[in-house]
Structure 1
């Protein structure tokens, strides 16, 4: 495996871990447990972001920008969805 493969594996692992920690926080019945898992979640999320930035800087993680018209259309679509929610005034 080369460096790119190792970093990609680490980013993927961190993503799965944050997903699992998120579920654990949602289901924690004890406040201290929630706080502990939340702290580990934040550390893991920060590491995932750091690894993502490193891959992006090296050109190993890239994406294409969307056209302004596509962004506006998507924004309008989700604004419409948020207006249909019972708490529509609370979604920003």
Structure 2
């Protein structure tokens, strides 16, 4: 009998938690969009906000540990995107 020695380390567990939070927020976003009553929508929006906060905390912890690297955006691309969306908004 072979014993499975594959275990998740901290990085894998946090990556799994982040992926799970992304999945959870997708679901709550759909539920909030499809609510029939304002009270229920408010409840789902509150839950959605809490789940996004959890997701952000996991993201920050992974970033702090060097496990989630972000590439700095090119300033020209930022300006182009800004102009594009402003044109759409005004057009």
Asked if these proteins are the same fold (TM beyond 0.5), I'd say yes
Give the superposed CA RMSD: 1.3
- TM-score normalised by L of structure 2: 0.82
Q: Specify which of 61, 80, 84 is matched with residue 77 of structure 1.
A: 84
Instruction: Give the paired residue count.
Output: 84
Q: Specify which of 33, 45, 50 is matched with residue 43 of structure 1.
A: 50
- TM-score normalised by L of structure 1: 0.81
Matches within 5 A, 1:55-66: 55-66=62-73
Structure number with larger C-alpha Rg: 2
